Structure 1
Amino acid sequence: MFWYVVHTKPRQEFRALQNLEQQGYSCFLPVLRMQMVRGGSVEMAEEPLFPRYLFVRLDSSVTGKSWTPIRSTKGVSRLVTFGNQPARIDDTLIESLQAREAQPPRTLFTPGDRVSCTVGPFAGLEGVYQMLDGDARALVLIELLSKPVRMAIPAARLRRVE
């Protein structure tokens, strides 16, 4: 049994994963869990680590499950090959990717980041990100009139200053 690479249709990685698993294939789709701004609010999201690719474990022996249905699975574009040989992936790479998924999700900001307000009366003002205050607001330390002031600003209105 080896891992092979499946090329999916655009933005259909999760669909391909679900359909392949329903057919009895063992699959792995590495995802990156992170906070994102969507519709003006901050939410946790899962994005594929390798857009348009996932891994499937297949038996290359005669007694193994047929590979033919993979090509016609909804969401799948093709099995990645080099010449006429399917692209085989080493087990240690898959194991390291699976271990990476056990890490905590990436946050939008980390305490101490320099941020700038993008909208509203404080647009353009820079401050230091402190922490999230509930689901949608962030506590930011802004200097006003030569004094540091802690303010709650919607996290969707902030951007990191490089």
Structure 2
Amino acid sequence: MAWYAIYTKSRMEKKVSLRLEELGIEAYCPTTKRKKQWSDRKKWVEEVLFRSYVFVNIDLEKQSGLVRRTFGVVNFVYWLHKPAVIQDAEILAIRQFLSDHLEVETIGTTAKIGDYITIESGPLTGQTAKIVGLKNKHEVRLKIESLGFELVAALADK
């Protein structure tokens, strides 16, 4: 069993995740809360973090056909002509990051420069991260190498 990324039809991530769960497949659709403003009110809404992506924990040989036949699934995300494997540690890091921060956003990245560090304190202790630059002292970034994304959250003033 391993985690794989699947590509879904536009705006069907939550529905695909629910359908896969109903079929007995462990699916993870990361979401974040964002405050939206309309002309008459403000409201917190839940948004999908990775547009058109859902993660599944499956035995590829036994369950890939079932995943592909699920309504809303386009295909697996491929890397070097094979379905891209997402490390368990990266899924755990995403879950931890989302539980620790509100209003998280993703930024696609292709940068390959910088040093690797191991975080020594805080909620991400033990995680390996890549330094991709410093915008200011009020921003946290976690780079997920296998997906080519960064999770970005603003730190609250204390």
Please confirm whether the aligned pair reaches a TM-score higher than 0.5, indicating the same fold.
yes
Q: Distance in 1 between matches of 2:22 and 2:38?
A: 30
Mapped contact 1:34–1:105 kept (Cα < 8 A)? yes
| 2:6 alignment partner AA | V
| Cross-structure match for 2:74 | 77
| Cross-structure match for 2:53 | 53
| Cross-structure match for 1:25 | 25
Matched, 1:12 2:12: yes
Per-residue deviation, 1:105: 2.9
| Cross-structure match for 1:105 | 102
| Cross-structure match for 1:88 | 85
Mapped contact 1:5–1:54 kept (Cα < 8 A)? yes
Q: Distance in 1 between matches of 2:20 and 2:12?
A: 12
For residues 56 and 38 of structure 1, do their structure 2 counterparts lie closer, same or farther at Cα, with a shift above 3 Å needed?
farther
Per-residue deviation, 1:83: 4.6
Provide the secondary structure at the position in 2 that maps to 1:50: coil
Per-residue deviation, 1:98: 0.5
Structure with the higher helix share, 1 or 2:
2
Provide the secondary structure at the position in 1 that maps to 2:63: coil
Unaligned runs of at least 5 residues, structure 2? 105-158
TM-score by length of 1: 0.58
Provide the secondary structure at the position in 2 that maps to 1:67: helix
Q: Distance in 1 between matches of 2:54 and 2:101?
A: 21
TM-score by length of 2: 0.60
| Cross-structure match for 1:159 | none
Provide the secondary structure at the position in 2 that maps to 1:106: coil
Q: Distance in 1 between matches of 2:82 and 2:43?
A: 41
Deviations 1:81-111 (A, max 9, x none): 235411101111100001012125339xxxx
Aligned length: 104
Task: Let me know the Cα RMSD of the aligned residues.
Answer: 2.0
Structure with the higher strand share, 1 or 2:
1
Identity level (%) = 29
